[in-house]
A and B are shown apart, each in its own frame.
Chain A
Amino acid sequence: MKKYSVRESFEKALEIPIELLKNVPRATIIGDECVLVENYKAIVEYEKNLIRLSNNLSILGEDLNVAEITSDEIIINGKIKSIEF
């Protein structure tokens, strides 16, 4: 049985979404054309075939374009090949 710390068990009881607790991005993939990433912090690399976000999440594909960008969310369009960490 995994031992949870006090903080973790507290947060589990309240059922807050994980990405807010641990401060990690949440990615929603629609087909092979669209990725919506919430809670990203910054863009590290921006190329035609690769978009790297917040030092962990990177999206590989062809003809990638940033469709919408706000301070919380980013929507990436294009032919998506893989998502790596």
Chain B
Amino acid sequence: MFLLKSFNYLKGYIVVRAEGFFIERLMNLCQIRNLKTWDTKIWCSGIIEFKINSWDYERLLEIAKITRCNIEKINQRGAVSVAKRYSKRKVFAVMLSVICVIISLINKRFWNIEIQGNQDISLSEIYKELEKENFKKGVLKDEIDFANVKSNIYQRRDDILWLGFSVKGNTVIVDVVERKNPEEDPYKNKPCNIISEKDGIIESIYVKEGSANVEKGDAIYKGDLLVKGTISSEYSEDRYVSANAEIMIKTWYEGKVAIPYEKSLLIKSGNRHNTYKLSVRKLCDKFVKY
């Protein structure tokens, strides 16, 4: 019956009060003529209240005429009555629809573009690049194809490695990753040696170019020559190269920490302090459960 009642609310029902001598005849006639009624209440002998559907109301009036009862509409509920109430407030309905339209129009465009992650390239440059792709503030969301924008910008700019677009509501967050050139080695083409900067013991040495002066396990000091920039062999003259090697040294670093002369300790004094608390669960256990 609950589902029926909810459908009835949507379609609209009327709360009716009936008064007369032959109330029972009225109820019987309703059942015979297939008028659905529910929630009947009796106030006193001869006065009852019940609910019927709005479209059954005329037939109820006929029945009331036959049984000589008075029928009174107390309340009318449902979608129909709501519509009637709001038909007198046309401005409300108009403004509501206007607001809905405006909101839907606003949400179709991007209103903000945020750019993150750029270090060497300036913000205005990135904005110009995006503008060339027709990607400005206020552009329609449907008009932009992110993959297209990305591929076009990659082709034009060498220094942008990757672009990421993430959409949050009406904002687009653009992540820029720039291409970093590998560090230039100032000693690339000049012949030179490798000299250590710290004291320590050598763990491993792997020479790519040059000849090693030390072995694994040697103790070295700051300023010692580790790899020579000359390659000498029996068959040809000495060659001068820029020494290149990977060396791992076990070394140490020093630092300073300040510790105060005096330090305070917490010792138990033996004093007692009482606290009281109210626990609801323990109170409830004392009550009798029925």
Contacts and interface: CB of A to CB of B under 8 A. Distances in A.
A19 interface: no
Interface in B29-67: 31-32, 34, 36-42, 44-45, 48
A70 B31 contact: yes
A48 B45 contact: yes
Contacts of A70: 31, 36
Interface string B7-29: 00000000000000001100110
Interface residues of B, number: 18
Given A70-B31, A71-B31, A46 B23 contact: yes
Contacts of A68: 1, 38
Contacts, number: 39
A66 B37 CA distance: 10
Given A65-B40, A69-B40, A46 B48 contact: yes
A65 B42 CA distance: 7
Nearest to B27: A43
Contact of A66 (B28, B40, B44, B45): B40
A56 to B, nearest CB: 15
A46 B24 contact: yes
Nearest to B33: A71
A42 B22 CA distance: 13
Nearest to A41: B28
A79 to B, nearest CB: 14
B27 A46 contact: yes
Chain B interface secondary structure, helix, strand, loop or mixed? mixed
Given A46-B42, A48-B44, A64-B42, A71 B32 contact: yes
Contacts of A43: 24, 27-28
A29 interface: no
A65 B41 contact: yes
Contacts of B36: 70
B42 A44 contact: no
Nearest to B41: A65
A47 B31 contact: no
Given A70-B31, A70-B36, 15 more contacts: A46-B42, A48-B42, A48-B44, A48-B45, A65-B40, A66-B27, A66-B40, A67-B39, A67-B40, A68-B1, A68-B38, A69-B31, A69-B37, A71-B31, A71-B32
Interface of A: 42-48, 64-71
Interface of B: 1, 23-24, 27-28, 31-32, 34, 36-42, 44-45, 48
Please give me the 7 A-B residue pairs with the lowest Cβ-Cβ distance, nearest first.
A66-B40, A42-B28, A43-B24, A71-B31, A46-B24, A47-B45, A43-B27
